Amino acid sequence: MRDGDEEDDGTLPPRDWLGDMGAGAVAALGAGVFALSIVAMVAIDRLGGTLTPDDAAARIVAPEVEGVAFEVPRPAPGIVSPRADDPTWMINAAAFDAPPGRPVMAVIVLDDGTQPETALQALDWNAPFSFAIAADFDLSPHRVERVRRAGREALALVPFGYGPDLGADPNVLRRGLSEAELVRRLRWHLARAGGEIVGAIDGQSGDILRDAVALRIVGDELAAGGMLMIDSREESDSLLSARLRPMGVPVGRRTARIARGDSHDVALDALGQAERHAGTWGTAIVLVEAGEGTMKALSEWVLTRGSDVAIAPVSHVIRQLRRGPQYAQN
């Protein structure tokens, strides 16, 4: 019925559909509209380039609506290594921190398998020595693993010639080999040492060190593998450093070498001279053939030396060499 005397024409009044809904339904509808608006804003924001995929979710706060639980989806995390482009010798480098401007000196213990336990006793000393391990005896992969577990740097001790006890070794690097065979032999030594070494060192010297073509092949392999090289300088006319450095292989030349048969005094004198060299030129590299006498002298030197020169893993000495002799005096 209408007000007054007008008759009812049968038309129903318009329905109030919002009023007919329950309170719970209204709340759910409101929450859904609010959620859709948030999603729309996120899409616009991303299209506008104002958010990156990594921080978008971090800057969006999920709304709190009574009775409705939801969260803004987070993007899948991107896996990007900050060291992806670093060479292997940097990736496998041991942790080391020396005060800026302080000279550094590397001591590399040469473990050719003659006295293996004597060599690895230095793992327990409070000094970051490096260890070069020959690949041609049974336990060499396990020994490299021990060195790495101790937080020390390992290198492959590769024969670049025949030694007195290596006459029958089928994997010596030498002149006269085909490129394929030379590559195979070098890869055999590196593979035996494992994937956590920083580089290689010429354990024995031969005429291959004067062969520019063979050294180019060796340099290509080391550069491709991201390895550094230590030149033992056993051959006065060796081309190892001169050929490998221009190819991008970081090369460190040894300052002193202590032979297994050297006397106690000779070993201490060599260590002292190398330390003075580092104090003058900023860096030094000492090779120590593992033996009862040499390791005893090395232990004594570690306990009695001064603190002006830091003992460092070999890779950190190579880093300093690549920056030049910054600490040169006189």
pLDDT means per 10 residues in the chain (330 residues)? 46 50 52 54 48 42 43 36 75 88 95 87 94 83 91 95 67 94 95 93 90 97 97 92 95 96 96 96 96 96 93 94 45
146 exposure class (CB count in 10 Å sphere: 0-12, 13-18, 19+)? middle
pLDDT at 321: 79
pLDDT at 170: 79
Query: How far apart (Å, rounded) are the C-alpha atoms in residues 78 and 295?
Result: 48
pLDDT at 64: 45
pLDDT at 72: 40
pLDDT at 33: 52
pLDDT at 106: 97
pLDDT at 17: 46
pLDDT at 84: 67
pLDDT at 48: 47
pLDDT at 299: 96
Statement: the pTM of the whole predicted model exceeds 0.85: no
pLDDT at 79: 32
Query: How far apart (Å, rounded) are the C-alpha atoms in residues 164 and 112?
Result: 12
Three-state SS annotation for the chain: CCCCCCCCCCCCCCCCHHHHCCHHHHHHHHHHHHHHHHHHHHHHHHHCCCCCCCCHHHHCCCCCECCECCCCCCCCCCCCCCCCCCCHHHHCCCCCCCCCCCCEEEEEEEECCCCHHHHHHHHHCCCCCEEEEECCCCCHHHHHHHHHHCCCEEEEEEEECCCCCCCCCCCCCCCCCCHHHHHHHHHHHHHHHCCCCCEEEEEEECHHHHCHHHHHHHHHHHHHCCCEEEECCCCCCCCHHHHHHHHCCCEEECCEEECCCCCHHHHHHHHHHHHHHHHHHCEEEEEEECCHHHHHHHHHHHHHCCCCCEECCHHHHHHHHHHCCCCCCC
pLDDT at 266: 97
